[in-house]
Amino acid sequence: MLEIKNVTKVFNPGTVNEKLALDNFSLTLEDGDFVTVIGGNGAGKSTMMNAIAGVWLVDSGQILIDGEDVTKLSEHKRAKFLGRVFQDPMTGTAATMGIEENLALAKRRGHRRTLRQGISRKEREEYRELLKILGLGLEDRLTSKVGLLSGGQRQALTLLMATMRKPKLLLLDEHTAALDPKTAQKVLETTEYIVNRDKLTTLMITHNMKDAIAHGNRLIMLNEGKVILDIRGEEKKKLTVEELLHKFGEASGEEFANDKAILG
């Protein structure tokens, strides 16, 4: 479903801030894979997401989604393949627009935007049903401005927007990191529900090792722009946090220096 072949990305080349963010990076996802991604700060997790999403173009290498080469496609052209939820709840929605307007924008992802009405009456009913899944009461607030919602509500809405038009690949970039633990749990449960229901191929970055182990069928760990651990199937099911930390030490030759990831 997703093939990343030998991708390299250097930020600020030729300056003192030069940073090799992705180092000859390769990763292949099978159809229906739910892959959790962990790694320390600066390991290249978000860079990998942005490379897939096309926020900027990579320096070398190739990215294929469902067999189609998207390496040179701009961000908005790749959008038809992708559902994205960001770390910052403000990023995924348009604050000054209503809940239904945001959903209507997402419903038209990958379609030509015409001069037909932005939202039809029929759609409103559909959105009401969709929002019920979240269990947040948003179905009764269709016209409310999204800016009035809490961070958790906005993330849940973004998740709905990312998945309402079934994406080839769902990209979750620490989408629960900015939420309080209870809300984070709820958003994660909804994520799990939707991914299972629609059998979505998913990449989920998380800073929480327990979550990384509890969700998905495969876990990868990044360090210095490379995949240093790739655990799947039965092996992943039996994995514990201690074991993961130990494996990290073996693979990278250093301590895992992120308290949040261990304690969280």
Partner 1 sequence: MNILNLLNAMPGAVAQGLIWGIMAIGIYITYRILDIADLTVDGSLCTGGAVCIMMMLSGHNVFVSMLAATLAGMATGLVTGVFHTFMGIPAILSGILTQLALYSINLKIMGKSNQAINVDKYDLLVSLRYIKNVVFYKNSILVVAVAIVLLVLVLYWFFGTEYGCGLRATGCNGNMARAQGINTDFAKVVGLMISNGLVGLSGAMLSQYQGFADINMGRGAIVIGLAAVIIGEAVFDRVFHNFGFKLIGVAFGSVLYYVVIQTVIWMGFDPDLLKLLSALVVAVFLAIPYWKQKYFRKPAVKKGGKDDA
- Give residues in contact with partner 1 (CB under 8 A): 53, 74-77, 79-80, 82, 84, 86, 88-97, 101, 104-106, 108-111, 113-119, 145, 147-148, 161
Q: With contact defined as beta carbons under 8 Å apart, do 90 and 152 qualify?
A: no
Residue 152 CB, shortest distance to partner 1, in Å, is 14
Give the pair of three-digit tokens for residue 104.
Answer: 């209507």
> How many Cβ atoms sit within 10 Å of the Cβ of residue 66?
13
Q: Which is nearer to partner 1, 121 or 259 (CB)?
A: 121
Residue 235 CB, shortest distance to partner 1, in Å, is 34
* Eight-class DSSP state of 215: S
Measured between alpha carbons, how far is 216 from 188 in angstroms, rounded to an integer? 12
Measured between alpha carbons, how far is 192 from 5 in angstroms, rounded to an integer? 28
Q: With contact defined as beta carbons under 8 Å apart, do 38 and 212 qualify?
A: yes
Residue 26 CB, shortest distance to partner 1, in Å, is 25
Q: Which is nearer to partner 1, 143 or 259 (CB)?
A: 143
Residue 196 CB, shortest distance to partner 1, in Å, is 23
Q: Which is nearer to partner 1, 141 or 236 (CB)?
A: 141
Residue 91 CB, shortest distance to partner 1, in Å, is 5
Q: Which is nearer to partner 1, 106 or 227 (CB)?
A: 106
Per DSSP, what are the bridge partners of residue 231?
A: 219
> How many Cβ atoms sit within 10 Å of the Cβ of residue 129?
9
Q: Which is nearer to partner 1, 23 or 126 (CB)?
A: 126
What are the Cα distances from residue 254, in Å, to 24, 40, 186? Answer: 21, 11, 34
Q: With contact defined as beta carbons under 8 Å apart, do 31 and 2 qualify?
A: no
Q: Which is nearer to partner 1, 33 or 100 (CB)?
A: 100
**Helix/strand/coil for 238:** coil
Residue 154 CB, shortest distance to partner 1, in Å, is 9
Measured between alpha carbons, how far is 35 from 215 in angstroms, rounded to an integer? 8
Residue 64 CB, shortest distance to partner 1, in Å, is 19
Measured between alpha carbons, how far is 223 from 45 in angstroms, rounded to an integer? 9
Q: Which is nearer to partner 1, 157 or 222 (CB)?
A: 157
Q: With contact defined as beta carbons under 8 Å apart, do 126 and 132 qualify?
A: no
